[in-house]
Amino acid sequence: MNQNDCLIIDTLYSNKSINTTAEKLYLTQPALTRRIQKIEEEFDTTIVKRSSKGITFTSEGKLIAQHAKKMLDDYAAIQAKLNRMKNDVFGTVRIGISNSLACYMLPDLLYSYKKIHPLVDFEVVTGYSSEVVRLVYNRDVQIGFVRGDHMASLNKHLIGIDQAYIVSKTPVTLSEIPKIPRIDFYADIPAQTMIENWWYEHFAETPYIAMRLKSGQTCIEMIKRGLGYGIFLTDNFFKDIQDNISYQPLYYKNGNPVTRNNWMIHRDESDDENHVRSFRLFCLDYFEGPGMFG
């Protein structure tokens, strides 16, 4: 018994009339009668009894009618779910992101996206930007967010530009910097290279590095207590601090500011999956609007 047969039995059971059922299904009465007979032959039973007063369903016929209705309901439920799947965005997006962006940018981004697409989940891996580039390149993650320019044959979209700063407890002059202890925190090679290029453009001597810390936030706490100064390639670490901090932007000798680009990166095939493409397009709008940082 196929779907059309189920529709015939269900309509006939609801109307108890060959004539009405034929009209509703746009069939002739002889064609409808032949179809009912075929179903009866298939199950080797009598589905309906005819009389001058109309038709009545046998006990076997009632059982078949109940089954027919269930099959129609199940089919409708599957079709509705398939239609929702075509329209809804769902799945898991695998994200790689630099440590600082994960802290200062990612929570608001994911929160904003989940409000629109609650069925999408995320798997997040953090690390240095160079590590994130490798994760995207090796297909371990589908979308990457990195700081700085990295040599890789990946699609990339600019999502922000950060200004570099000297940060200290009290204002310092450029000429004082080489004599003051510097508090560094670990960064990847492109970030270190940018700082070194700026340094040796201005100074002949090597910097006096007193501490090498793992956390930029720990570095800020040391600076707030007057233990030295730091060079930061973003203001994320200190822009909300009101007291015990002084910062000034870095410039090259030609007057250009020292800045670092931030990128969203991905491979071509990431757009093959609807939920990943949806998230990427959302990010493009997000970083063009009020959510943009830098």
Here the CATH number for the domain that contains residue 112 is: 3.40.190.10
- What per-residue confidence (pLDDT) applies to 87? 60
Residue 210 is assigned to a structural domain of this protein:
yes
Let me know whether 74 and 203 are in one domain: no
Residue 222 is assigned to a structural domain of this protein:
yes
Residues of the chain where predicted confidence (pLDDT) is lower than 50: 289-294
Check: CB of residue 21 under 8 Å from CB of residue 68: no
Check: CB of residue 146 under 8 Å from CB of residue 202: no
Domain count, the chain: 3
- What per-residue confidence (pLDDT) applies to 190? 87
Identify the sign of the CA torsion 197, 203, 205, 206. Answer: negative
CATH number at residue 19: 1.10.10.10
Rounded to 5 degrees, φ, ψ at 80 are: -65, -40
Identify the sign of the CA torsion 140, 145, 147, 149. Answer: positive
pTM attached to this predicted model: 0.66
Query: Residue 252 has which token pair?
Result: 């090259």
Helix or strand run (H / E) with residue 12: helix 3-15
Q: Spell out the SS3 assignment of 49-104.
A: EEECCEEEECHHHHHHHHHHHHHHHHHHHHHHHHHHHHHCCCEEEEEEEEHHHHHH
- What per-residue confidence (pLDDT) applies to 86? 61
214-229 residues labelled b (16+ CB within 10 A) or e (exposed): eebeebbebbbeeebb
Let me know whether 7 and 59 are in one domain: yes
3-state secondary structure of 205: coil
Let me know whether 171 and 248 are in one domain: yes
Let me know whether 101 and 32 are in one domain: no
- What per-residue confidence (pLDDT) applies to 251? 96
- What per-residue confidence (pLDDT) applies to 136? 94
- What per-residue confidence (pLDDT) applies to 125? 95
Let me know whether 96 and 141 are in one domain: yes
> Could you list the residue range(s) of the whole structural domain that residue 11 is in?
3-87
